[in-house]
Amino acid sequence: MLTCGCGRWMHTEGIEERAYEDGTPQWFIRSECLGCGLKVGADVPAGRTDGLVDRLMWTDDALHRLERMPPYMAPFYRDDVEGQARILGERVITYEALLRPRTGERIEWEPEAEQRLERVPAPVRAMARVELERTAADRGTARVTVGLMEEIKAKYFGMGAKG
């Protein structure tokens, strides 16, 4: 734990995912003293939180991604990701952790659905894959179909269905 000069524990306020000049991922961990208001920040190699993170935290990037999810889905998603982090003994939820396949779930893709996914623009493809697999799993089905894709596209990505 980080202690402020005034004698109180410092409270972790946020984590930014950054990179060193050579591209090595790093975290910038912000802490604040709720007693005197002092704020400090520390650069650490990604994954090394020793003593600087006082509870399970989402990085700013991961939070941003969560905020962009549909409201009906975000709470389930959050619980799921946090549960997974606890199982893995992790304190920090990163952008990348959100894309990690869930433990114990094997979601199958209908071939046509897989082909359609390839046509989704690259920046949202990984996210779309996660969304679709999550939705299928939430519904107790282990298969992503074209029908499900059309539904999610309309709801979440705001695109019209295309044959």
State how far the Cα of 21 lies from the Cα of 13, in Å rounded to an integer. 25
Site string for Zn ion, 64-93 (x = CB under 5 A): ------------------------------
Q: Which of 1, 36, 99, 161 binds Zn ion (CB under 5 A)?
A: 36
* Residue 33 touching Zn ion (CB under 5 A): yes
Please report where in the chains the tokens 């990690």 appear, as a residue. 100
Q: Please report the beta strands in the chain, taking only residues with DSSP state E, as ranges in sequence order.
A: 10-19, 25-33, 39-45, 57-58, 92-93, 108-109, 143-144
- Nearest CB to Zn ion, comparing residues 10 and 132: 10
Angle at 79 between CA 19 and CA 51, to 5 degrees: 45
State how far the Cα of 62 lies from the Cα of 93, in Å rounded to an integer. 7
- Least Å distance between CB 31 and Zn ion? 10
* Residue 34 touching Zn ion (CB under 5 A): no
Is residue 10 within 8 Å of 2, Cβ to Cβ? yes
Q: Which of 35, 47, 83, 101 binds Zn ion (CB under 5 A)?
A: 35
Site string for Zn ion, 38-67 (x = CB under 5 A): x-----------------------------
Q: Which of 1, 6, 142, 159 binds Zn ion (CB under 5 A)?
A: 6
- Nearest CB to Zn ion, comparing residues 3 and 24: 3
